[in-house]
Structure 1
């Protein structure tokens, strides 16, 4: 039975539980729980702090973990990055006081920079040849310049609203992060099979996002032109209608291309067009 670690609370908790739910795996709420049994898959769920998840997976306390790539890079424990999960996107950036005369990375030479990600920042400064003081802070990093603890910060940025409210401005985007599934590199054969089953479910969900299932009726004489417009898993599905000279076409279209392609198909004479949400797509 697999043991998967997820964030006990915070920005990735709800999205992790939501992904598991879409995969047919029921998970109990994490309130006052450290571990619970999942429904719909042979799995136990561990609720941990996000910065503890890479270590737990590396030690074998958990077989798998859902965690931000930033924590994997910061802790640098020996884990396998199994797949990207399509949510939790953010970046870690350098920010300075909005009144500062910022003129490039040389600004940070000899400056004090507060961060919860000292290892990522140290590697970045080393690559750029910047000699700065890195101060590790747990908690509200963005207040450090205001109370005189630092000249700048290196912290997670999503919308940027927190920086603005603290009189800071983002000046260098250093590291881009997203939620990833990580695995212990020493999983036995049985657990690797179970992991493959789990990632199969996850991939089916992720591949269906942003896709629409489209059905329409079309004059048979326009079929060849329509097929050049429509994508498909291999090719569009074509079915004859009871009315002679007409057919029905079924296809999966990326949402970003949907309306442009529908307009082209209508110009060919397509009618009775139905657009349906695609829940899962299994290749």
Structure 2
């Protein structure tokens, strides 16, 4: 049995549990339960505070965990990182009141800055050659300037709406973050084998999220030209249609690449282009 720690609530929790389910792993979760066990995979899920996850994994209480890079680096446990997961992307940013005049990070020299991430902030300020007074608080960082506690804040930003609603403006990006999978460095061989199976499933889900299956019809004399425009996993499949002189072409492409090539495909004679999402992609 492999134990995985995930954040007990919030966006990262939702995204983490969604990934586990997309891997075909079934479990029942409840806001009242601090742990649950999968019914079809040797996995136990622990619901913990995000700040506690790196420590629990390092100490072996949990075997693996999903946590934001910002928390991992703040806790100084980057060596636990196994895999970047690509979701729950956000940034650690500096923000000041909207009314404040701001030209560069040098304007924060000697100022008071409130944050829940003193280590990341201190590293950034040192790199910028700025000395400021850092006030570490555990929550409600955005309110610090309005109550006179600080001149600026350094906090996690996703959309920026929370800053706006508190009369703040983002002025500097300190650190880019996303969800990462971390693991204890002393897993047994049995648990390493389970982790490899889990990673195999995660990779299949990740590849599917970035890819689309496309089908299109084309006159036979245009098939070679259209194939040259389709960078897929391997050579596209070409199947004859009932209508003589026409073929159906099937391929897997990156969604971003597809939108770049769509006009060229149509100009080359492609018709009836169908784009289909992929649930899992095994290479």
**CA offset at residue 97 of structure 1?**
1.6
Shifted more, 260-269 versus 223-232: the winner is 260-269
**CA offset at residue 218 of structure 1?**
2.4
Question: Where does residue 191 of structure 2 map in the other structure?
Answer: 191
**CA offset at residue 260 of structure 1?**
5.0
Report if the CA contact (8 A) 1:64-1:181 is conserved: yes
**CA offset at residue 264 of structure 1?**
3.0
TM-score by length of 1: 0.94
**CA offset at residue 256 of structure 1?**
2.7
Map 1:106-255; keep pairs closer than 5 Å.
106-255=106-255
Question: Where does residue 83 of structure 1 map in the other structure?
Answer: 83
Report if the CA contact (8 A) 1:115-1:136 is conserved: yes
Find the residue that maps to 1:124 and give its secondary structure: helix
1:214-252 superposed Cα distances (whole Å, 9 cap, x missing partner): 122322222211111112212111233455433321101
Cα separation, partners in 2 of 1:101 and 1:278, compared to 1, 3 Å? same
Question: Where does residue 98 of structure 2 map in the other structure?
Answer: 98
**CA offset at residue 259 of structure 1?**
4.8
Question: Where does residue 34 of structure 2 map in the other structure?
Answer: 34
Structure 2: give runs of 5+ residues left out of the alignment: none
Find the residue that maps to 2:71 and give its secondary structure: helix
> What is the Cα-based RMSD across aligned positions, in Å?
1.7
Cα separation, partners in 2 of 1:251 and 1:134, compared to 1, 3 Å? same
Report if the CA contact (8 A) 1:50-1:71 is conserved: yes
**CA offset at residue 206 of structure 1?**
1.1
Structure 1: give runs of 5+ residues left out of the alignment: none
Report if the CA contact (8 A) 1:54-1:79 is conserved: no
**CA offset at residue 11 of structure 1?**
1.7
Shifted more, 222-231 versus 13-22: the winner is 222-231
**CA offset at residue 277 of structure 1?**
1.5
> How many residues of Structure 1 are paired with residues of Structure 2 in the alignment?
283
Find the residue that maps to 1:231 and give its secondary structure: coil
Shifted more, 242-251 versus 169-178: the winner is 242-251
Distance 1:260 1:128 in 2: 39
Distance 2:260 2:151 in 1: 50
Map 1:257-272; keep pairs closer than 5 Å.
257-259=257-259, 261-272=261-272
Distance 1:94 1:162 in 2: 13
Distance 1:20 1:278 in 2: 17
Report if the CA contact (8 A) 2:57-2:182 is conserved: yes
Distance 1:15 1:78 in 2: 21
1:68 aligns with 2:68: yes
Distance 2:158 2:186 in 1: 34
